Amino acid sequence: MSTKIGVVGLGYVGLTLTAALADKGFTVYGADVSPAVLESLSRGRPHIFEPGIEDVFAARLGRNIHVGASLPKDTVDVAVISVSTPVDNITQRPNLANLAAAARVVAASCRPDTLVVVRSTVPVGTSRRVVLPELRAAWGEQVRLVMAPERTIQGQALRELVELPQVIGGLDAESLAAGIEFFNGLVRTVVPVSGLETAELVKLSNNCHTDLIYSFGNEIALIAERHGLDPLEVINAANVDYPRPDLAKPGYVGGGCLSKDPYIMIDSAGDRRPFLVGKARQLNEYLPIHVGETVVRMLIEARGRSLGARLAVLGWAYKGWPATDDMRGTPIATMMRVFSAAGVTVLGHDPMVTDDVIRQYGGEPVSLDKAFTDADAVLIINDHPDYRAIQVPEVLGAARPAFIYDSWRVLDSDAVMAAGVRYAGLGYLPPAPVASGSAAPAPQVVPA
């Protein structure tokens, strides 16, 4: 089994793989172009939150984990390329410059018999079209190349890197055999496929399917809202003992992969654009805008104005569970544009996100208790366990918010309404509670 591994790119994918390989006894040389990343890692302080990573680095840095600006010359047996492949905000086309540069680094630093593993998410055909020419320019025809996509979920990466089946596609039979041998030292199950392109499409298929099924739950929520219905009641009833795939609950869809990979899938399709992938992404990107506009409208209804209103936003990372501090694809980035245009002052809280980051996004950091007493309304964006544990009677003081928009429905809605506070959620807009002694208004259909 190969024991010396180079990892080029120490973002989330490269960092978690480095820790998992080192924990299995491999010697890993991690390389990154960011001085800040290298400085942090050299002190044993991972720049990305992921359970277990810090412990691995504390135990193994300087022993079988080494980090630097480049790979050691002619040292590693396997070189893994795990650099970012960002999508341009304007053109929505993937930028593969990092990938080509990483391939050149590997070609210059490694021996021709080194196994090269592409781990980055790329359009179909990229490993052959972009990486292979860089390697052949330096090594000639003696190239061993595989595509082995990363498919882990944040918060469980170290476990899933071992437990999830690893799909591997090779340039040729020799490359595939070398890739299988390498990953057998890390994972429980290897799934060989017929080539580089098949493995590339596997990764895109997984993530785009996830984006698609979540978008359908959001579609149901928007339709339910239009008719004054509860989307969770609809979805839960539809799923009871029904033998076809479960409907997904509505929710925001962000993160580094799901907000980017659909555009890479679209790019892979060339001139024949996919029917579903782009529409699903469009819907999921619209949801934060819709919620932001709904919250502003509710503030106007409750306070007569939005200008100067104070809104407490709980949950700034793109998801709450598994817990993460990742701000890529976070709904608040889109919502802040809506709130700013309406003159709303936004207070921010997240157990995983620093006050400095909240300020960078335009919020004013606030404690959890103050969020419920010092704001005109509360918006819960993610489902962090701290929010699930909130006891409503304990956080509501004499000065109460006009409403709580609970995107993930984690609070006790009965307790909220019993306190005289309006309760709402994704696709769920029941009327405000009726004051004691008042006649209840007739149910109203929410306007489009």
Task: Render each residue's pLDDT in the chain as its tens digit; 448 residues.
Answer: 458 999 999 999 999 999 999 999 999 999 999 999 999 999 999 999 999 999 999 999 999 999 999 999 999 999 999 999 999 999 999 999 999 999 999 999 999 999 999 999 999 999 999 999 999 999 999 999 999 999 999 999 999 999 999 999 999 999 999 999 999 999 999 999 999 999 999 999 999 999 999 999 999 999 999 999 999 999 999 999 999 989 999 999 999 999 999 999 999 999 999 999 999 999 999 999 999 999 999 999 999 999 999 999 999 999 999 999 999 999 999 999 999 999 999 999 999 999 999 999 999 999 999 999 999 999 999 999 999 999 999 999 888 999 999 999 999 999 999 999 999 999 999 998 875 544 434 434 333 3
- Domain membership flag for residue 436: yes
User: Do residue 253 and residue 380 come from a single domain?
Assistant: yes
CA angle 32, 49, 3 (to 5 degrees): 50
How many other CB atoms are there within 10 angstroms of residue 142's CB atom? 12
332: domain CATH number is 3.40.50.720
Domain annotation covers residue 102: yes
Residue 201 inside a domain? The answer is no
In a domain, 17, yes or no: yes
For 125, left (φ over 0), alpha (ψ -120 to 50), or beta? left
The arrangement of strands across the sheet holding 403-406 comes to 364-365, 345-349, 310-314, 377-380, 403-406, 422-424
Same domain, 292 and 169: no
- Is it true that the peptide bond before 274 is cis, omega within 30 degrees of 0? no
Q: Do residues 244 and 374 both lie within one domain?
A: yes
31 and 167 within one domain: yes
User: Is residue 322 reached through a cis peptide bond, with omega within 30 degrees of 0 on the bond before it?
Assistant: yes
DSSP labels, 230-247? -HHHHHHHHHTT-SSPPP
The owner of tokens 């170290």 is 158
Indicate whether 361 and 435 sit together in one domain.
yes
Q: What is the DSSP letter of 94?
A: B
**Residues 294, 356 share a domain:** yes
**Residue 370, SS3 per DSSP:** helix
Residue 403 and residue 443 in one domain:
yes
- Specify whether 185 is located in the same domain as 230: no
State whether 39 and 169 are in the same domain: yes
Domain that includes residue 275, residue range: 209-215+225-448
Specify the number of domains making up the chain: 2
